[in-house]
Amino acid sequence: MADKKIGTMTGWKYSSDVLAVFRFWPEPGSKFPSYKAGQYMALQRNDCRLTKKVVKDGGKVEYVTVLDAEGKPKRGPVTHSYSIASAPFETEQNGWLEFYVILEMDGGVPGRLTESMFRMKEGADDKMVYYEKIAGDFTLDKRAAGFENVILVGTGTGLAPFRSMVKQIDFEAASGKRDGVKYTLLHTNRTYEELDYYQELLDIEAAGRFDFVYIPTVSRPTERDLNDPKLGRGRANNVLRHLFGLPLKEEQDIQEIEAKGGDPTKAKAALEKTIRPALPNKFTLEALAPRMESSKTVVITCGNPWSMEDIKYAAEKRGMRFEKEDW
């Protein structure tokens, strides 16, 4: 078991009420272990709402808040692993780690650990326990070795390991180390404000130190988003389907229901509400096609489980290797 230490949070940067980036410093006198881009660390807070697993009728699983003798929510330690968003060279140079987190909701109730994390205040309640070990095999040498094209698909905070990878590749490329691989990063969040690292990734793309394409899209576009030529639209899975020449998930649902003789009314209503995918203006399907040759491409994803499952379907439908982050 790795040793527990107490680090300090600094620099909360909120992109919305439920999304934030923060930097985390090691316990005084310590350094974080070395790591590879894509790995994770276990973090802990000790004042989290505690829950217990309850199996309902029909096997449905729910997590119910544990109450104390006075009927109040019981609090205690909760640990969860988070992908590191900073690049290894940044930690080596600066000493901190960076994390990209979402305030999880469970049936309308804020998540156990993230609720506590989002109450942290720099200079006051800014301490967090960490396990002095960085681990995981969600790394390019494990998941993308031998492929000429690597498509990275991040939904929401699933961008974190990919930001680490892209920053590290860019840093190494600046020193002359290039691997000849074509990297394509697709990141989707709800609105422009929630596309964390957006400008940084655009700048890396523009610098051209390695073969990198960045496709940012929003799934709930505002008027501002619709008028931004640098932004695409649509959920990540449907944007990937668009790139691969496949029908939208909602269109496929209708086809499958009708083939079975079912009633597609609800599926059609879902399709009407779906934001149809569109690429940023500078990209065309024809120009991106060489980055997506089936036998030479691996699709790697991290984020929303539902989206990852459909991304898997799209990748395998095109005969591509599929990899995802598993906890």
pLDDT of residue 53: 84
Whether the pLDDT of residue 109 is over 80: the answer is no
Residues 100, 223, single domain; the answer is no
Whether the pLDDT of residue 48 is over 80: the answer is yes
Read off the pLDDT of residues 242-282 as tens digits, 9 standing for 90 and up: 999 999 999 999 999 999 999 999 999 999 999 999 999 99
Three-class secondary structure of residue 14 per DSSP: strand
Structure tokens at 286: 């024809």
CATH number, domain of 207, equals 3.40.50.80
From 102, 135, 168, the end of a domain falls on: 135
| Residue span of the structural domain in which 200 resides | 140-324
Lowest mean pLDDT among 53-62, 66-75, 130-139, 226-235: 53-62
State the total domains in the chain.
Answer: 2
pLDDT of residue 1: 64
From 135, 169, 193, the end of a domain falls on: 135
Three-class secondary structure of residue 190 per DSSP: coil
Whether the pLDDT of residue 220 is over 90: the answer is yes
Residues 152, 52, single domain; the answer is no
Measured CA distances, 224 to 136, 220, 273 (Å)? 39, 11, 19
pTM score, whole prediction:
0.93
* Burial class, 234, CB count within 10 angstroms (exposed 0-12 / middle 13-18 / buried 19+): buried
Structure tokens at 14: 């909120």
- Rounded Cα–Cα distance for residues 141 and 145 (Å): 5
Average pLDDT of span 82-111: 92
Residues 41, 145, single domain; the answer is no
Residues 191, 305, single domain; the answer is yes
Read off the pLDDT of residues 67-93 as tens digits, 9 standing for 90 and up: 888 888 899 999 999 999 999 999 999
Radius of gyration of the chain (CA): 21
Whether the pLDDT of residue 58 is over 80: the answer is no
At residue 110 the predicted structure's pLDDT band, cuts being 50, 70 and 90, is confident
Between 50 and 203, whose confidence is greater?
A: 203
Average pLDDT of span 129-146: 97
Residues 184, 197, single domain; the answer is yes
Greatest alpha-carbon pair distance for the chain in Å reads 67
Do 318 and 295 meet the contact criterion of CB atoms below 8 Å apart? no
Q: Which amino acid is at 67?
A: L
